[in-house]
Chains A and B, each alone.
Chain A
């Protein structure tokens, strides 16, 4: 098996439980694989465990058992600092509510992950400008998040997630708070970066119409994987 045939993201018997009066398994024995250059979309109704799964994939939370491999490296046993380093290098994260740093401009928000990753300021600024240009926000580069619309903020968040050329970008309901026109624009961005930079994306959504853009559609129900479909978008 060549390197490119290996999954870039893989979970093995992944479990996560919460205590809600009794133990509730939000993620129950989940096994998935995402190949390099794919757009994988995880769909399912509310409470099916999609967001929990994505949090685990991004190292934002810890599973109770199982393993997560990113580029064949297990992230479950990493300590917080190793996890931070892994996130810095391998994972871009797009939140549903954008989560930009409010007192930084759009340009500075995109620049920050690169500065943290020891990239020179000049290089970081150039790449941040390039990414903002790619998402069509060059004129708004020096605006703060509160001066941007929801769609613009989400595009800044996407640009930020791509800053360090991560192995995989994880997006939690990236279109959940957007109108249909902006939603299309954001999806178009994902598809474009997937094609031009062969960027791997894992998106979660309960908007099933987005599955047409995916190479792999994973359906979840009650914390378990219901179906996995591989298709050509």
Chain B
């Protein structure tokens, strides 16, 4: 398109915009509304998520990660752990423990059976405020808050029992030797591992406490490693609450994502409807444009410019609206500029996509239609197929093409009827490229045309199979160049068939002769 043509078409499009201003205003409003709604709603979700996460605190734990395996599972010895994707010495220290349920008069308590030389649970790490740490069997240490709530003092005895799988009770009595302050986000009673082993049948470690090399790796790597070693286990680590909070927020806001999709679907249907209605009203105008020599590219350019401008101004106005409305919304100031830019970019891209879908259908119709179709036709086909050879050649027909020098076409038949119009009958002369049959499908959106493959005469027509054989005027007329292997395979197959038939005939004749001679 030359610059003069471009200028002329642009000028025409500008005049069209004035004429169709209310239609374009509708597209403009749909885009502006949807875009601003998308950005504002996305921002609102993001701020809500930020607030939700900010209100979730990290846990205070004496270890970096605790692995809790399910009942029946066991802690894998450190050396047998699977090889991690990264360096193995990320694991600074690992300690096993046995957790068990201990039923007392005060209710069920989870007790940790730990080693005497525990790395994580000892006087240095827990704030012992009264008594002493575990030294020998039969001793127990409790958090101060728990002891207070049960009215227990150092020196008191704690009686209780555990239950094995068969419901048999194993009773035990411990003396309370120490109380520690709850500076961590957990409350557990501690006994020595040897005591715990006595209380549980087939006592195996079911807790694994880990300290990792913080300077070298991230917790996420450790977690990944442990998850690969214990796929069914539960994990406790300082930021587990943040992760759970985020997951929870995602679940809460999931329906919101659908709403965002609905916004754009609504916009797309709106844009498509408006531009389709406008196209139907402009059919005559488009026909005139085509009749005076406006090319398809120029028509597509003009239509896209008209409706694309409405979309572009819609996005820009939507952006202005967002900032105007944002001043009146209390939470809007909390949206980070990077998030806002991202949502605007996403909104603009979705708008572009929806606009392309909405505009393209009527634009394609305008592009493919002939002048007469625009002026008179009820349906304008978008998909046009023209065929002048067998599209899916069957072996037998191909063989006949070669043997009898017929050129075949195959129409789409339903119950012995061509679903369209047959323009030629047996005995009619045809010219190469002449339309022999046409068919409209899918509400007229698809148009199918069969053309004569050669100059000749219609020699046969089978209304059941839809095959039409054309005998060429010139016997040397080349056939459609089907792939060589199909032809060779078929020739070979048919020759074998003929040889078989000939053999059967010969055998039959021979047997008849022998019966005759007898």
Contacts and interface: CB of A to CB of B under 8 A. Distances in A.
Given A23-B422, A64-B434, A99-B284, A84 B290 contact: yes
B19 A61 contact: no
Interface string B416-431: 0000111100000011
A112 B292 contact: yes
Contacts of B11: 115
Nearest to B431: A65
B352 interface: no
Interface residues of B, number: 43
B503 interface: no
Contact of B292 (A15, A87, A118, A121): A87
Contacts of B288: 95, 99-101
Chain A: number of interface residues, binned into ranges: 35 or more
B370 A84 contact: no
Contact of A88 (B287, B293, B296): B293
A33 interface: no
Contacts of B257: none
Nearest to A79: B296
Contact of A101 (B289, B295, B422): B289
Contact of A103 (B18, B292, B373): B18
Contacts of B12: 104, 112
B285 A55 contact: no
Interface in B1-32: 2, 4-5, 7-9, 11-12, 15-16, 18-19
Given A89-B293, A101-B289, A104-B15, A116 B8 contact: yes
Contact of A87 (B8, B291, B298): B291
Contact of B297 (A23, A65, A81, A99): A81
Interface in B417-475: 420-423, 430-431, 433-435, 438
A93 interface: yes
A102 B19 contact: yes
A17 B291 contact: no
B238 to A, nearest CB: 68
B294 A116 contact: yes
A116 B5 contact: yes
Give chain B's interface secondary structure class: helix
B372 interface: yes
Contacts of B431: 13, 65-66
A109 to B, nearest CB: 9
Contact of A23 (B5, B9, B292, B423): B423
Nearest to B1: A118
B435 A65 contact: yes
Given A60-B371, A64-B423, A120 B4 contact: yes
A103 B19 contact: yes
Contacts of A58: 291, 371
A164 interface: yes
Contacts of A55: 371-372
A165 B288 CA distance: 18
B290 A118 contact: no
Given A17-B423, A23-B422, A103-B16, A116 B9 contact: yes
B370 A113 contact: no
A2 to B, nearest CB: 29
A117 interface: yes
Nearest to B434: A65
Contact of B15 (A59, A89, A103, A119): A103
Interface string A15-33: 1010100110000000000
Contacts of B420: 19
Interface in B290-328: 290-298
Interface in A77-128: 80-81, 84-85, 87-89, 91, 93, 95, 99-104, 108, 112-113, 115-121
Interface in A16-60: 17, 19, 22-23, 55, 58-60
Contacts of A65: 430-431, 433-435
Contacts of A66: 431
A221 interface: no
A143 B213 CA distance: 85
24 contacts: A17-B423, A19-B438, A22-B421, A60-B290, A64-B434, A80-B295, A80-B367, A80-B370, A81-B295, A85-B293, A87-B291, A87-B292, A88-B292, A91-B293, A99-B291, A100-B288, A103-B18, A112-B8, A112-B12, A116-B292, A116-B294, A117-B293, A120-B4, A121-B4
What 8 pairs across the A-B complex have the smallest Cβ distances? A88-B293, A115-B8, A65-B434, A64-B435, A19-B421, A60-B371, A103-B19, A61-B372
Interface of B: 2, 4-5, 7-9, 11-12, 15-16, 18-19, 284-285, 287-298, 367-368, 370-373, 375, 420-423, 430-431, 433-435, 438
Given A22-B421, A60-B291, A115-B11, 5 more contacts: A17-B423, A19-B421, A102-B19, A116-B293, A118-B4
